[in-house]
Amino acid sequence: MKIIAAKIGRLVFVKYLLNQAEISKDLDHPIYSLAILTSHDAVECYLQLVYEQLTGKAKLNGNQILDNYSGKINEILQTDKKSQ
C-alpha cells in the first residue's frame, strides 16, 4: 500500500501531537489538562487518515469523529478479513 507524501506529513503531525501530549502530562495544573485534549486530537487525526487511506474517500460528515471513523474502519477491516 503506497502512502503519498501529504499523508506522511499528516502522520508526522499525529506523532508531533502525541509527543506534545507526553510533555504536557508532566507539567503543572492546569497545563497538564492539555495532554488529554492533544491526545484526543491525535487520535481523531489518525482515524481520519486511516479511513482516507483504506477507502480513498475524503472525510466523513458528522461531528462524532471517534465513533464514526472507528465504526467505518472496523467495517472495512471485517469485510477485508472475510474476503481473505
Give the per-residue pLDDT at 53: 93
Average pLDDT over residues 61-82: 87
Q: At 3, is the pLDDT very low, low, confident or very high (cuts 50, 70, 90)?
A: confident
Average pLDDT over residues 39-52: 94
CA distance 53 to 38: 22
Q: How many CB atoms lie within 10 A of CB 75?
A: 10
Give the per-residue pLDDT at 63: 76
Q: At 83, is the pLDDT very low, low, confident or very high (cuts 50, 70, 90)?
A: confident
